[in-house]
Amino acid sequence: MKKAGIIGVGEYLPKRILTNADLEKMVDTSNEWIVSRTGIKERRLAADNEATSDLAIKAAREALENAHLNPQDLDLIIVATITPDMAFPSVASIVENFLLAKKAAAFDISAACVGFVYALSIANQFIVRGTYKNALVIGAEKLSAITDWKDRNTCVLLGDGAGACVLSKVESGGIISAYLGCDGSKGELLNLPAGGSRKPASHETVDNRLHYLKMQGNELFKIAVKIMTEAARTVLRQAGLTFKDIDLIIPHQANSRIIMAVAKRLGIPEDKIYLNIEKYGNMSSASTATALVEAVKDGRVKKGDTILLDAFGAGLVWGACVIDL
């Protein structure tokens, strides 16, 4: 049976660069502190007039160009994001309109940092079953819009960007297996308290800075290492493969210490792990997406290679995916 494979990739990173030196002037922190604890040296920030859909559209256009497809060839658009332009319509609907992809169904999913892996898994089902032929999957975030720039524990971590890929049925390769999970009992460890139906916008929520991302970093660190380790092992077991069969692991770019701790537990050499966190920080659903795109552009992976995507995020949710390129 034919599988759904990636036939084109694209990305967009905003022009503005925020360095650790810049952050030293904004909050009580230092370059040494940030690098030693996170591995991040700089991150990209969208312009004031750039919304998440603007980032997504630019990444989508590059992916379509690389796939040698027109927007009219698309049957499905899925955007993974936790920073939509507005509650509705969806970012995917906005993307569909700007691209003039008139044949495409379109919707967003909210799975935080695992959103891109979730979206790939969903699109894969539609294509393998023959419901749709060509799907555009995008991970896009403007995290700077929900970042508390007075909170040194979170503002040093986050950045903006978008990554995209086009999926279609392929003669060889494709998505081999995907594994998704959730533990909602730990949702309070990483959340955005206000702005929804439970705590609608009010003077009180604004005054208490509840419209910004909140995170319990120490607890998340320990859980993330465990979750990502187990997810990688599980998805490989489902695929009938071992780590020796994997050419490159592309993890969610949350924290370099988390990633290296996972690699150590799995017994994976560092040269098999792809990192771009020092340039972009944590871009939530866009992190794994742009890391995949850059691994292709950098020549770290090529046609015929087998890669493993591995991510965790707010929810808490997690996911991993094995793909033959």
User: Which residue among the candidates 124, 155, 252, 321 is catalytic per the annotation?
Assistant: 252
Cβ neighbour number for residue 273 with a 10 Å cutoff = 18
For residue 310, report the phi and psi dihedrals to the nearest 5 degrees.
Answer: -145, 125
d(CA 153, CA 25): 15
Asked if 220 contacts 314 with a C-beta cutoff of 8 angstroms, the reply is no
d(CA 6, CA 76): 14
Cα 154 → chain centroid: 17
Q: What angle do CA 167, 173, 175 make, to 5 degrees?
A: 55
Which residues, listed in sequence order, are joined to residue 298 by a DSSP beta bridge? none
252 as an active site residue: the answer is: yes
68 as an active site residue: the answer is: no
User: Which residue among the candidates 113, 155, 165, 321 is catalytic per the annotation?
Assistant: 113
Asked if 213 contacts 192 with a C-beta cutoff of 8 angstroms, the reply is yes
d(CA 290, CA 113): 12
User: Which residue among the candidates 20, 124, 255, 282 is catalytic per the annotation?
Assistant: 282
Catalytic residue positions, numbered: 113, 252, 282
